[in-house]
Amino acid sequence: MKTFTCRTATDPHAGLEPGATFLAGGTNLVDLMKLGVATPDVLVDVTRLRLDEVTDLPGGGLRIGAGVRNSDLAAHPRVRRDYPVLSQALLAGASGQLRNMATTAGNLLQRTRCRYFMDATMPCNKHRPGSGCPARGGDHRNLAILGGSEACIATHPSDMAVALAALDAVVQVSGPAGERSVPVTELHRLPGDAPERDTVLEHGELITAVDLPVLGLAANSAYRKVRDRASYAFAVGSVAAAAQVDDGTVTDVRLAFGAVAHKPWRARLAEDALRGRPASREAFLAAADAELAAAEPLRDNAFKVTLIRNLTAAVLEGLS
């Protein structure tokens, strides 16, 4: 591991000097440092900024501090009651020990587990721009079918972020230039020709909170994850959904897919196809087909199209 120095942050607006990186739980960053993929000169500990509270927002929403631990957030009474999809997504991620350390912001900002990115000796446009994407012709079984590019087909690994995308969550960001709000659906980037940039955050910007709006249908929500083993595994595919069904008709719906793109994939085409339609398996499958029409699977991950299609129908049937 490269030698580095540590200091403690005292101001969320202070930003970072070149070569510095924020550190909270460290459940992803420290692994990347051990592998030689992340090589910061300075680690700036943000745990003393006291961003670890869940508070009510005026009007009934919920503000989740960036430092709230995943296990605490999953068990929070209001999250379990009003946003069960979020609690379920958190409990589907990692292990109990990791959830006790991992933070809200850190979960959002974790990096892909593509094997070529995780190996510092391999070509990878994410850690060495211009070196190529060997995954396209190599091991891509669990990589992107939506929104990829010639430069990168990595997938975002978070379960929590998929639920937040479905809930219209908004990220609060602070940095040297001041404060701004970024919808979760706009926080992460598609790879395009610059896959080394995971998010729209500028260097030195710090996530301070995530806001959940009042969303009545969120109380009727669920997260379903498919993985290669029963626990402690990243998703092969996942669906977060919230639905309002009145007299057998879908009157409102939110959908997001996980493990299919470089970012949590908000399925807006599927949502539009469902509103005003019967709450039937046929309608659910047709809506999924509308979203997945843009999929560009490769040799070994075409099964994800069928997987997400059937998973979408199963989750929505459970909410109808």
For residue 222, what is the domain's CATH number?
Answer: 3.30.390.50
Q: Which domain holds residue 172?
A: 48-109+156-212
- Asked if residue 208 and residue 290 are part of one domain, the reply reads no
Same-domain pairing of 208 and 228:
no
Task: Report pLDDT for 197.
Answer: 97
Cα angle 282, 257, 280; round to 5? 15
SS3 state at 219? helix
77, 190: one domain = yes
The pLDDT value recorded for residue 14 is 81
278 with 314, same domain: the answer is yes
CATH code for the domain of 199: 3.30.465.10
* Closest listed residue to residue 79, CA positions, set 156, 164, 158, 162: 164
- What token pair was written down for 303? 């099964």
Residue 74 CB contacts under 8 Å (≥ 6 apart), including other chains:
80, 86, 87, 90, 91, 99
User: Pick from 239, 216, 235: which is nearest to 315 by CA?
Assistant: 239
Q: Does residue 54 sit in the same domain as residue 203?
A: yes
Give the pTM: 0.97
CA distance 288 to 220: 19
Same domain (yes/no): 208, 222: no
Asked, for residue 13, whether it belongs to a domain, the answer is no
CB-based burial label for 115 (10 Å; 0-12, 13-18, 19+): middle
User: What pLDDT is attached to residue 208?
Assistant: 98
β-pairing, 62-65 with 249-258? unpaired
Q: Is residue 82 part of a domain?
A: yes
Average pLDDT per block of 10 residues along the chain, 320 residues long? 92 88 96 96 95 96 98 98 98 95 98 97 96 98 98 98 98 95 98 97 97 98 96 96 98 98 98 98 98 98 98 98
CA 223, distance to chain mean position in Å, is: 13
pLDDT at 187: 98
- 277 lies in a domain? yes
- The count of structural domains within the chain is 2
Contact (Cβ atoms closer than 8 angstroms) between residue 109 and residue 102 = no
Residues 6+ apart with CB under 8 A from 282: none
Q: Give pLDDT, residue 13.
A: 83
Q: Please report whether residue 151 resides in a domain.
A: no
| Cα R_g (the chain), whole angstroms | 19
How confident is the model at residue 1, as a pLDDT? 79
Cα gap 183→29, rounded to integer Å: 24
Q: What is the pLDDT of residue 51?
A: 97
Beta bridge partners of 21: 43
Is residue 121 domain-resident?
no
Please indicate, yes or no, whether residues 201 and 240 belong to a single structural domain of this protein. no
Whether residue 228 is found in the same domain as residue 201: no
